[in-house]
């Protein structure tokens, strides 16, 4: 049937509406959730910056805890009594050159007794009552971080079973080593989570930058950007106001450097820019 055979009042057949693409539908959903206006950029930036700064505060505190735990962890290598100066020097060199040793020093009886007099006078007085100094001499060893996860096996293979002549015992606290390893794992985990969040934010900005269809004027773009930065700045202020009254309760407190706060503001700027590009 050709065009001439159609009735005069017959309506032309309409094509079904085309389904919008992914990014236009995503923009519509974004507007449906946060609404039009700058308040969405402010609130979203405030939330993202708050989470980022919370992670930053936890990260820098945990880094300081890990540093102090590692510096306090020691392995004590006890030599045989009655060694000569030459034998002690050779033994100290052998312990220092052992693979996995980051630091080593010899602690004499006199040094240990002086330390006890300052930190524990009662114990020092009891030791002095014996006449001759009864406290032992030892080598204070700090293992490298690479061997902390298996420090017991490292000690067994490095110092015991006659590996170094003249060593009769090696002592350490397994719980302290576990604390260092656990805090190191938590540090790496937080760092990984922050890197993933940064990657997600970068992709969010890139998708918006290269898929936005509407072009705002200079004032409108500045408004979105200012809303994002203001939300992030408000999060920085709230975090500082919450931490400031309690930071002196501890003997030490590490405040994140200004670069962390600058990154939070930059996060707000990226969010404001992305929402500006995706607004329709």
Instruction: For residue 30, report the phi and psi dihedrals to the nearest 5 degrees.
Output: -60, -45
CA distances for 118 relative to 91, 140, 263, angstroms: 29, 19, 46
pLDDT number for residue 133: 59
**What stretch of H or E contains 189?**
helix 174-211
Q: Most confidently modeled of 98-102, 105-109, 204-208? A: 98-102
The CATH architecture one would assign to domain 75-172 is 2-Layer Sandwich (3.30)
Mean pLDDT of 197-211: 84
CA distance 257 to 259: 5
Mean pLDDT, the chain, integer: 79
Residue 138 tokens read as: 């030892």
CA distance 187 to 16: 55
Give percent above pLDDT 90 in the chain: 25
pLDDT number for residue 33: 47
Q: What is the DSSP secondary-structure string of 210-270?
A: HH------HHHHHHHHHHHHHHHHHHHHHHHHHHGGGTTSSS---PPPHHHHHHHHHHHHH
CA distance 57 to 85: 50
Within the chain, which residue ranges are assigned CATH 3.30.70.3040? 75-172
3-state DSSP: the chain helix, strand, coil percent, rounded to 5? 65, 10, 25
Q: Is the pLDDT of residue 271 over 90?
A: no
pLDDT number for residue 6: 47
Segment 143-194, tens digit of pLDDT: 999 899 899 899 888 888 777 888 888 888 999 999 999 999 999 999 999 9
Give percent above pLDDT 70 in the chain: 76
pTM: 0.72
First to last CA, the chain: 45
Query: Would you give the DSSP letter of residue 1?
Result: -
Mean pLDDT of 65-93: 86
CA distance 212 to 274: 9
For the chain, the farthest-separated pair of C-alpha atoms sits apart, in whole angstroms, at: 128
8 Å CB contact between 40 and 275: yes
């Amino acid at each position: 049937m050709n065009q001439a055979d159609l009735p005069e009042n017959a309506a032309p057949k309409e094509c079904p509406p085309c389904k919008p693409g992914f990014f236009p539908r995503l923009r519509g959903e974004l507007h449906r959730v946060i609404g039009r206006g700058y308040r969405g950029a402010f609130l979203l930036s405030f939330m993202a910056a708050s989470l980022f700064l919370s992670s930053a505060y936890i990260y820098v505190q945990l880094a300081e805890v890990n540093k102090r735990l590692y510096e306090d962890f020691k392995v004590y290598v006890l030599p045989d009594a009655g060694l000569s100066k030459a034998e002690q020097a050779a033994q100290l060199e052998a312990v220092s050159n052992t693979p996995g040793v980051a630091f080593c020093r010899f602690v004499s009886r006199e040094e240990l007794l002086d330390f006890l007099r300052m930190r524990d006078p009662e114990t020092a007085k009891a030791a002095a009552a014996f006449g001759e100094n009864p406290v032992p001499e030892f080598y204070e060893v700090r293992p490298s971080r690479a061997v902390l996860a298996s420090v017991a096996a490292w000690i067994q293979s490095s110092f015991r079973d006659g590996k170094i002549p003249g060593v009769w015992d090696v002592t350490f606290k397994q719980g302290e080593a576990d604390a260092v390893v656990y805090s190191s794992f938590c540090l790496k985990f937080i760092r990984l989570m922050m890197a993933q969040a940064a990657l997600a934010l970068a992709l969010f900005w890139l998708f918006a930058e290269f898929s936005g269809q509407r072009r705002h004027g200079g004032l409108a773009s500045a408004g979105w950007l200012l809303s994002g930065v203001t939300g992030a700045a408000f999060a920085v202020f709230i975090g500082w106001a919450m931490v400031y009254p309690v930071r002196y309760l501890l003997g030490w407190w590490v405040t994140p450097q200004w670069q962390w706060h600058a990154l939070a503001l930059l996060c707000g700027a990226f969010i404001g820019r992305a929402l500006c590009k995706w607004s329709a």
